[in-house]
Structures are given as structure tokens and as C-alpha cells.
Amino acid sequence: MKLTTFVSALLLPMFLLTEPSVTADEVQEVMRTRIDTIHETGSLSVGQDPIAAVRVIANLYENRDFMLVWTRRAMIDDLMAMIAEAPNHGLDPADYHFDAIQARLDLVAKGLRGITSQVDLDLLLTDAFVRIAFTIHFGKLNPEDLDPVWNLSRGFEEDSDIIELFFMALDEGSIREFIVASAPDFAPYRRLVDALRQHRSLAERGGWPQVPEAGVLKPGERSPRVIDLRARLAATDGLENVPGDPELFDDGVEQSVKRFQQRHFLDADGKVGPKTVEALNVPIEDRMDQIRASLERLRWIFRDVPNDFIVTDIAGFQLYLFRDRTRVWTTRIQVGKPYHATPVFKDKMTYLVLNPTWTVPPGILRKETLPAIRRDPDYLKNKNMSVIRSDGSVVDPSTIDFNGKFPYGIRQEPGPGNALGRVKFIFPNPYFVYLHDTPSKSLFGRSARAFSHGCIRTEDPLDLAALLLEDKEGWDRARIDTVVDSAKMTTVTLAEPLTVFLLYWTAEVGEDGIIGFREDIYNRDARIIDGLNAPFKFKAPSRLPASLR
């Protein structure tokens, strides 16, 4: 059944769902039987539709003496309207019993209102309400099932009263308000919802045309392909249809190509080469899936965030500093190569180190550093490196046979050539990942910046240090520069710990309203899309009372 059939239901007159001749005792008995099935078997289905939140539902009806909950038409209309809007959140109305509910509402409109059908309709409505509120608040999928290193909370806050508020919403009929409030209160989420709505509308009108693959198209050239290019750019990048030669790659087309390249993290040279054509020809359905996956990730994360925090946008190669939940500073970053993927997690930054040393990790030592030393006897000297014992004492490298067993470590001393640059930012974590400076400054000029072994290299680290130490008495930018110039390793504790999110998504809408799409460098979107398209499964969040699990 199409969602548009729901419109006719809204025109039905207000009415109570209970048949006048049906007694409360009869309704209670049928409902009690349904709830008993939950306690006896741990499951319940209405027709072909399984009830997901069986414990929550059992608790609800037992506390309401097994009476019907959905006796006001306005409540049902609000719920069905919110389910009809689920695709704008990247969700499927089928997950919320839309067709099953609509079929039963159609029977009610025809006067077919037996006790059993009324009880089953009430159960479907309640389960749909739980499902959609739960999904919009926590996400449909459990990220721990997709990422073994996931450490962000998927539970209620310890003082959360969301279950009480859920029951209150049913009592007061504030269905729409409760569902709306369940979504992340975060501007990037709302902007992505708007972007998905716009893409769905464009898809309904046929999407965008394909641009034929051939040689590189350059500004100033004439080609029949430019006609297709113009049509493609008009669909998404604001290229206006102006009088002139439609086959000419003029300045208007060039500027539109550059805008497209910028928001797809391509080198914005204005030329239409293979990578640009590939991005132009990605089907609109695939772009909508990127938005859906990104919305799901934001539901996992941005429910209860602090006022001040850092976000490292892994796939977008950007770092953002938020103050009072507003983005106040941005810098470019380099992240892990696909085979050294930067993990997704949350932790708290507690201190930074100016003029840090770098102890070479065992894997890099074994695979890269020792082979380099064997090839070049001056490698340690040129890289300002020392051989160290486990207690940190230095060993004379001339006394070591680097072709034999190597029971030592190697430490790179502070200096401009240090792999960590002049500052590192520490948020203790089991992955040994942190933010740091880098001597590889030229790589920040690349549009795609996956070059590291997993840590995050930061383009403007001293500016970031100054921002983070604003509340630290005596630590202005001048003092930071003085300490850096001294080449002396210095640890500075932050005035307050700062939450750091290392996150991954492939679609984002900027504050200017322009959507950007990134390459899925770690191939993480597909599993999320598969999960969003799969049948609904309810996995209780942590700290949900045991009686409701």
C-alpha cells in the first residue's frame, strides 16, 4: 500500500475505536490473553507482524489494567503521519507496521470492529510507536554489531525518565511531540533530513542524467557531452540555463564543475576527467543511501553531547571544535590509510605535549624502521632517533647488530622533523590513537588525505593548542611559541577534560546548506545500508529496566 493512501484516512471522522456494545471486561480479557502469550513464550505476533518491544508493551498494558490505549483518532493520525515521514529520516515505514495498521483502519472505517481486531490494532499501534521513537532516538542498528571497537554509549542516561515520558505521551496524546523530541537535537542531523527530503523529491522527478564517458572535458572546449554535463549540473549545482551555445564549456559551466568537485572532495580544477565523471554518474539512489547511512550514524552518537567537544570527521578529513554546541573552528587533517584505518570511538582529552618524543610502535619498528636502518647506516642520525632500553636509557647504536635480535626500542627526539611534529594531544585510549602535528605539511593540499598509520595529523596544531589552553592561566600563544622554540618537551594539562569524537560518515550538509559527499574510504556504508533495509529487530539499550528488556 502506498503512503499516499494514508491521506484518505485523515479525512475520516473522529471516533472511539471501541464498539459501543463491547464491554470493558471483554476487551480486558482478550488483551490479557495477548499479554499472557508474551510471558509464556517471550514473543507475540499480530498476523504476519511480530511485536518487537514485547516487554515494554506487556508492562504498559498491565499498568493500564489491559485496557485499550489508542482510543483517540488524533493520536492515531499523528502516529501515522510520523511514520509516513520516516523516509525523510532514511527509515522504512514497513518497520512500523504501516500497511498492517492502515488495513485495519480501513476495516474500522467500514464498521468492522470486532474485539479481537481492536485489540490487535491497539497492539500494533503501540509497537509502532515504540519502534519509531526508539529508532529515531537510538538508530535502527546496534553499532556494536558492526564495529568491534565501538565504545560510544547506546543506553539511557542514568537519570533518564524516557520510559516515564513515553507512557505520559500515550496518556496525554502527545505522540508527534514525543517522536520529534526523540530525534538528535543537533543541527547537522536536521540539515541531513532536509537534504534527504530534497533528494527524494528529485528522485521522484527522475533524478539526474548521466554524463557520457570519454576524454577529459576542459573549459573553452565544445562538445555534445557538454549538453549532458549542463543538464547534470543544473540538477544539483545551480547551473542556470542561459542563452548561448549549449555545447560550449563556458565560464558558468566551469564554475559549476568546481563547486561540484569541492563538495565531492575532488581536486577543484574545473576539468571533467574520469574521477569527476564517475562522481557525476553516481545514481541518486546511491547518494540517498549515503545520506541514510550518515543519519543512522548521527542517531548513534548525537543524543546527549556536551557543550564543548572536538569532532574528527575521518572520511571528510576535517577536525571541528565546538563551543556551546556551535562549530567555532575547523582545520584539515590526515587520517589512517585503509589498511591502517582510524578507529571510531569517544574519549576525553586531558593533556597535550609540546616538543614530544615519538617512540616507534612495534609494528612500524619491525616492518619499516629496522629495514631502513639496515639499508642506511646513517638513518638514525638523519632522523634524530635514539635506541633505548625499556627504562628509557639510551644505547650506543654502534654496539648493536641490527641484523640480529633487537631487544630495544627506538625513540625519535623532539624537533621539527619529529613524526609527531611540535605538539601532540592526548586522550588516553586502548588504540594508541591521538592528534598531533606532522612534518608532512604538503599532504594537506591533497583533497583525499588518508596517509597515516591511524593517528590524526592536524594542519594547524599550535592554533588548536592555543584554543584549548585559553582557560589555562599563563598559557597564551606567545608562551606556547616560546616553549616550542626551546625544543624542550613540556606537558600541559587542560583546565578541563574535553570530549573527543572520532567519527565516520560520508555525507554532510554544511552550515551554508550545501551537501558534500565523501568517498567511503573504509567501505563502511554497505553494512549500514544492508541493516537499514533488513527487517526490524529490537535490541534493548543499556540501562533499560530489566523488567522492560
Express each pLDDT in 361-384 by its tens digit: 888 999 999 999 999 999 999 999
Q: Is the pTM for the entire model greater than 0.85? A: yes
Q: How remote is the C-alpha of 10 from its chain's centroid? A: 35
Boundary of a domain, candidates 246, 280, 314: 280
Name the residue among 372, 349, 350 with its Cα closest to residue 360.
Answer: 372
Same domain, 339 and 422: yes
Same domain, 13 and 153: yes
Same domain, 261 and 336: no
- How many independent structural domains does the chain possess? 3
Same domain, 340 and 422: yes
Report the C-alpha gap between 356 and 265 in whole angstroms.
32
97 contacts: CB under 8 Å, gap ≥ 6: 46, 49, 124, 125, 127, 128, 131
- Determine the structural domain holding residue 264 and report its residue range: 211-280
Same domain, 472 and 368: yes
Report the C-alpha gap between 384 and 366 in whole angstroms.
18
Phi, psi angles (nearest 5°) of residue 371: -60, -35
Q: What is the pLDDT of residue 538?
A: 81
Cβ atoms within 10 A of the Cβ of 186, count? 16
Question: 275-278: long-range contacts at Cβ-Cβ below 8 A with a sequence spacing of 24 or more?
Answer: 277/211, 277/213
Q: Taking the CA of residue 364 as centre, how many other CA atoms within 13 Å lie in the half-sphere pointing to its CB?
A: 13
Residue 193 lies in a domain: no
- Angle formed at CA 203 by CA 200 and CA 206, multiple of 5 degrees: 160
Report the C-alpha gap between 229 and 239 in whole angstroms.
10
Query: What is the residue type of 545?
Result: P
Cβ atoms within 10 A of the Cβ of 200, count? 15
Residue 290 lies in a domain: no
Name the residue among 251, 252, 250, 280 with its Cα closest to residue 264.
Answer: 280
Same domain, 458 and 335: yes
Residue 72 lies in a domain: yes
What number of residues does the chain have?
A: 549
Same domain, 433 and 372: yes
Same domain, 537 and 493: no
Q: Taking the CA of residue 406 as centre, how many other CA atoms within 13 Å lie in the half-sphere pointing to its CB?
A: 17
Q: What is the pLDDT of residue 2?
A: 46
Q: Provide the Cα torsion 165, 166, 172, 173; round to 10°.
A: 140
Name the residue among 52, 303, 296 with its Cα closest to residue 154.
Answer: 303
Same domain, 374 and 272: no
Which single residue is written with the C-alpha cell 594547524? 460
The widest CA-to-CA distance across the chain, in whole angstroms, is 99
Same domain, 373 and 477: yes
Same domain, 496 and 538: no
Report the C-alpha gap between 44 and 35 in whole angstroms.
8
Instruction: Give pLDDT tens digits along the chain (549 positions).
Output: 444 444 334 433 334 444 555 688 899 999 999 999 999 999 999 999 999 989 889 989 998 999 999 999 999 999 999 999 999 999 999 999 999 999 999 988 887 778 899 999 999 999 999 999 999 999 999 888 888 777 776 665 554 566 678 888 998 999 999 999 999 988 899 999 999 999 999 999 999 999 999 899 999 999 999 999 999 999 998 888 778 899 999 999 999 999 999 999 999 999 999 999 999 999 999 999 999 999 999 999 887 788 999 999 999 999 999 999 889 999 999 999 998 999 999 999 999 999 999 999 888 999 999 999 999 999 999 999 999 999 999 999 999 999 999 999 999 999 989 999 999 999 988 888 999 999 999 999 998 899 999 999 999 999 999 999 999 999 999 999 999 999 999 999 999 999 999 999 999 999 899 999 999 999 999 999 999 999 998 876 665 555 555
pLDDT digits (tens, 9 = 90+) for 251-261: 999 999 999 99
Same domain, 366 and 256: no
What does the block give as the cell for 319? 577536525
